[in-house]
Structure 1
Amino acid sequence: MTRIAGHLVFFFLIFSTLPGQGQTSVKVSDFKKQLLEERALKDADFKTSAQSPIDDTEKADFKRLNYFKPSTAWVINARIEKYQTPDTIQMRTTTERLPLYIVYGKASFNVKGKVHELTVFRNVGLMNKPGYENYLFIPFTDETTGNQTYGGGRYVDAYIEDSEFLTIDFNRAYNPYCVYNKKYSCPIPPSGNHLSVKVNAGEKLFRKK
């Protein structure tokens, strides 16, 4: 598991058991500190790591990713409907690759007085690997897509919880790797995973310095 993934697991262990539906109640100072530390770590990894999606020829000019400001309003405690007999689908990507995903369930939550829904997936190729046993994948688009954020949508990770709720932190929404380097093959968010609201959280559109 990467350093970034480790931070994410730590976060979800803290906040995944919060009650209720919609926005959660978290300690703002601790939340902001943790998130900014994660972002600094990711920026450093993008600039120096051999696994960085940034091309080696561009790393010298890379400064940091662009982010929305941290907001606890976008730490969502969604109600999750887990499918008892889930389908396995081939998800479209930016290339001809068609990876297999299990349709884990549907998450529903309230933002600004309106109920929104997102289909939640499990990556068949990852689910049996150490560190990914509880990993969930949520590709989505929203009303910032193509303007403030990448036109192909963004992803947000979550983790299986032993409850009827699922913590979705849109502050940790991130761009597909193909944003930075066309050699990557990136899942395309299903059309049904569009949120009719501006998700002003997470990573913004990447612009080369």
Structure 2
Amino acid sequence: MKNISILFFLCLFISCNKAKKDDYVSKIKEFQYEENLKFLDESESPLTKEDLKTFKKLDFYPINKKYRIVAKLEKTVNAPVFEMKTTKERRPLYIKYGTVTFTLDGKEQKIPIYQSKDIERDPQYINYLFFPFTDKTSGKSSYGGGRYIDVYTTDEKLDGTILIDFNKAYNPYCAYSDRYSCPLTPKENTLSVEILAGVKAYKKH
């Protein structure tokens, strides 16, 4: 009877862990689905009208929970406002919100994270943080100009950590059309490892 009870609780534990994993995968699949819907919608798609005719779906790396990172966040005190370079003449204002530190594939990464000063004019983005990055896949299987992740101040924890989910990495609109003005990824935001997560480079069909 004792062995049966142990077996029951073991099966329950495995089932619960699988459910949690499947729940995370479902959330990332939902993110990918919504991204594809946006690209298929002519009113908001960054694709040209010509490319939209042949577009089927975005290409993503396999979902891997390893790239859901809980990083240490060191906030920048009295950060000065600076002009972020873009692909055009536009120079939006940002501050360095802080530095995130984490270890991936045995290598420590220390990467700046930013906050737009435009939030003062548009309160709906008050919790948004900007995390651009390049990595060892950039210019190969992912877009050469780097990718972005939307991070939120609401992801900060009391223990000084913040969530960075590379499975939600997306391309700037400049990867799809040169009619956009996109922030250029600063050199400081270069990762020394491959990020095999998120969206891949766009290939015209």
Does residue 132 (structure 1) correspond to residue 125 (structure 2)? The answer is yes
DSSP-derived class of the 1:126 partner: helix
Structure 2 counterpart of 1:84:
77
Once the two structures are TM-superposed, the CA of residue 127 in structure 1 deviates from its matched residue by 5.0
Contact 1:127 1:134 in 2 (8 A): no
Whichever of the two has the greater Rg, that structure is 2
Segments of structure 2 that go 5 or more residues without pairing to the other structure are: 1-18
Matches within 5 A, 1:148-159: 148-159=141-152
Q: TM-score, normalised by structure 2?
A: 0.86
Contact 1:127 1:135 in 2 (8 A): no
Once the two structures are TM-superposed, the CA of residue 49 in structure 1 deviates from its matched residue by 4.1
The CA RMSD measured in Å over matched residues stands at 1.4
Runs of 4+ in structure 1 deviating by more than 6 angstroms, as ranges, are none
> Aligned partners of 1:112 and 1:61: how far apart in 2?
37
* Pairs aligned (count): 184
Aligned counterpart in structure 2 of residue 71 of structure 1, from 53, 59, 64: 64
Q: Which has the higher helix share?
A: 2
Structure 2 counterpart of 1:186:
182
Structure 2 counterpart of 1:8:
none
Once the two structures are TM-superposed, the CA of residue 130 in structure 1 deviates from its matched residue by 3.6
Structure 2 counterpart of 1:177:
173
> Aligned partners of 1:73 and 1:162: how far apart in 2?
19
Given the superposition, is the C-alpha separation of residues 107 and 186 from structure 1 closer, same or farther in structure 2, using an over 3 Å criterion? Answer: same
Q: TM-score, normalised by structure 1?
A: 0.84
Does residue 198 (structure 1) correspond to residue 194 (structure 2)? The answer is yes
Does residue 122 (structure 1) correspond to residue 115 (structure 2)? The answer is yes
Contact 1:81 1:107 in 2 (8 A): yes
Contact 2:31 2:168 in 1 (8 A): no
Segments of structure 1 that go 5 or more residues without pairing to the other structure are: 1-25
Amino acid at match of 1:115: E
Once the two structures are TM-superposed, the CA of residue 146 in structure 1 deviates from its matched residue by 0.5
